[in-house]
Amino acid sequence: MKTFKLLPIDGRKSLSNQHVNQYESEGETFSDLISYTTRVAYYNHTTNKMTVHGYYSPTTARHINAFLDFYGFNTCSKSELENYNNIN
């Protein structure tokens, strides 16, 4: 497993309390976004499917948007994060 931190996309100096775990399972590669201690989103590299577990807080939304941007997905507003899996 590889673990790394995301860089901010909104002009801030850093993003604290988050990290990404990248790993392989059953022949597929995944990346989990951990905000504080909660898995809030994951990306399946094999199928190119992003899953977001909703909106938590403004800070976690910054983490999720940095994760989306890092993997080439569009960033989202609060309402889009709340409904992400229903519209994507």
- Domain limits for position 60: 2-87
Into how many domains does the chain fold? 1
How do the pLDDT tens digits run along the chain, 88 residues long? 999 999 999 888 889 999 999 999 999 999 999 999 999 999 999 999 999 999 999 999 999 999 999 999 999 999 999 999 887 7
CA 11 to chain centre: 18
Please tell me the pTM assigned to this model: 0.94
Best CA proximity match to 22, nearest among 8, 37, 43: 43
Give the C-alpha separation, 3 to 86, whole Å.
Answer: 29
Specify whether the backbone of 65 is left (phi greater than 0), alpha (psi in -120 to 50) or beta: alpha
68 and 75 Cβ atoms separated by less than 8 Å = yes
Give the pair of three-digit tokens for residue 32: 């989990």
